[in-house]
Amino acid sequence: MSGWRAGLIAVVLGGVVLAIGWVLARDGADGPTTTTVTNGENADVTLSCPLALQLACDGLASNLGTGRSTYRGGVAPSGTVVVTFAADLPPERDAQVFARTPIAIAVWGERASVLIDACGTVTVACVVAEAGTSWDSLGGPASWGTFLLGLADPNEGRSDLEAWRLVAAAGPAADLGDWVRLRAADDGQLLADLVLFPSRADAVIATEAAIASQLENARNRAGRLTLFYPDPSPYVEVAAYGEGRAAANVAARLLEPELQNLLGSVGLRPPTGDATNLLRDLGTPGVEMPALAADEIQALIDSWTRLVGG
């Protein structure tokens, strides 16, 4: 019996579909979809997170004994703890910030070494300046083609806006859009697409949490992603709220020391202070940049539209 057939029969006999938490995020869909079941202590509660926070969601749900699902916006049903970027939640939500994540640059392993030689250190200014440059002129093999960037649409979320903020500040050339071959609706999708289509971008700029969520997948499918940290760097806050009493109780637990100590191992950082038990591939972020002023946001959106497109 072939492996896949045996697997399918096992699913039938089990009588339940155990989907291990990976669902592509989609804008505009209604409500979260539960993708795991659990027998944990909070089995009636589901942690619902966007794709960008997949690793964090898996780790926290495992520790809390909850189910987990992919958050796609909209109203969550009772029993759901919604975990997402704080700025993307409606203000009326009584959400608690329990973590944060800096913006980082991820570069495919071998190419990172070449880029370091070319730029001295890998910064946003470096990757923006070299976008569109042939790899052989950067010191790499010609077969790598042209140095390409991947970015998420800043219209869709604060984390993507913060990443674009760095690019815009680096003074991109007018033809930048030609070299942003990998574009996605959000940074979770951006990193998932990078793993599926590794040659679509040599470097991406996104939240550290989104990159962390795909590090192992990238290693298994295409190679190692190396992280670099802009300095200074924007940080994006991560918040949670619960629908219903049980979920609210679980959400409150995210601030407990035990879970705060866990954050580093699931790709997040505590709201204050350094992360402990940091995931192996993560490093030291830059100094935190001041928050974006309201009047800066539209200018950034305009510059994205002008340079990269709608």
What's the DSSP call for residue 15?
T
Q: Is 200 in the site for another protein (CB under 8 A)?
A: yes
What's the DSSP call for residue 233?
B
Q: Is 217 in the site for another protein (CB under 8 A)?
A: yes
Q: Residue 218 Cβ, how far from another protein at the closest point, in Å?
A: 8
Q: Residue 244 Cβ, how far from another protein at the closest point, in Å?
A: 22
Which distant-in-sequence residues (6+ apart) come within 8 Å of 274 by Cβ? none
The single residue among 125, 129, 195, 255 that binds another protein, judged by CB under 8 A, is: 195
Q: Is 4 in the site for another protein (CB under 8 A)?
A: yes
In degrees to the nearest 10, what's the CA dihedral of 266, 269, 270, 274?
Answer: 120
34 membership: H or E segment, kind and range: strand 33-34
Q: Residue 287 Cβ, how far from another protein at the closest point, in Å?
A: 32
Q: Is 306 in the site for another protein (CB under 8 A)?
A: no
The single residue among 136, 156, 178, 237 that binds another protein, judged by CB under 8 A, is: 178
Q: Is 143 in the site for another protein (CB under 8 A)?
A: yes
Q: Is 280 in the site for another protein (CB under 8 A)?
A: no
134 vs 261, beta carbon nearer another protein: 134
The single residue among 221, 249, 256, 261 that binds another protein, judged by CB under 8 A, is: 221
- Segment near another protein (CB under 8 A); pick from 59-67, 189-197, 263-271, 281-289: 189-197
Q: In degrees rounded to 5, what are phi and psi of residue 256?
A: -70, 145
Q: How many CA atoms lie within 13 A of 270 on its CB side?
A: 16
Check: CB of residue 32 under 8 Å from CB of residue 80.
yes
Rounded-to-integer distance, Cα 130 and Cα 137, Å: 10
Q: How many residues bind to another protein according to rule CB under 8 A?
A: 44
What's the DSSP call for residue 181?
E
- Segment near another protein (CB under 8 A); pick from 196-204, 229-237, 243-251, 265-273: 196-204
- 100: which strand partners? 237, 269
The single residue among 207, 214, 226, 233 that binds another protein, judged by CB under 8 A, is: 214
**Using CB under 8 A as the criterion, what x/- string covers residues 146-165 for binding another protein?**
x-------------------
Q: Is 75 in the site for another protein (CB under 8 A)?
A: no
Q: In degrees rounded to 5, what are phi and psi of residue 191?
A: -70, -35
The single residue among 37, 75, 173, 196 that binds another protein, judged by CB under 8 A, is: 196
Quickly tell me which residue has 């984390």 as its tokens. 159
Give residue 308's identity as a one-letter amino acid code.
V
Closest of 103, 53, 56 to residue 227, by C-alpha: 103
**Using CB under 8 A as the criterion, what x/- string covers residues 12-31 for binding another protein?**
x--x-xxxxxxxx-x--x--
- 67: which strand partners? 46
78 vs 197, beta carbon nearer another protein: 197
Q: Is 77 in the site for another protein (CB under 8 A)?
A: no
Q: Is 310 in the site for another protein (CB under 8 A)?
A: no
Q: Residue 81 Cβ, how far from another protein at the closest point, in Å?
A: 20
Rounded-to-integer distance, Cα 202 and Cα 268, Å: 24
Closest of 96, 87, 138 to residue 113, by C-alpha: 138
In degrees to the nearest 10, what's the CA dihedral of 14, 20, 25, 31?
Answer: 50
Q: Residue 119 Cβ, how far from another protein at the closest point, in Å?
A: 21
User: 178-187: string of b/e by CB count within 10 Å (b at 16+)?
Assistant: ebbbbbbbbb
Interface with another protein (CB under 8 A):
2-5, 7-12, 15, 17-24, 26, 29, 33, 35, 143-146, 178, 181, 192, 195-200, 214, 216-218, 220-223
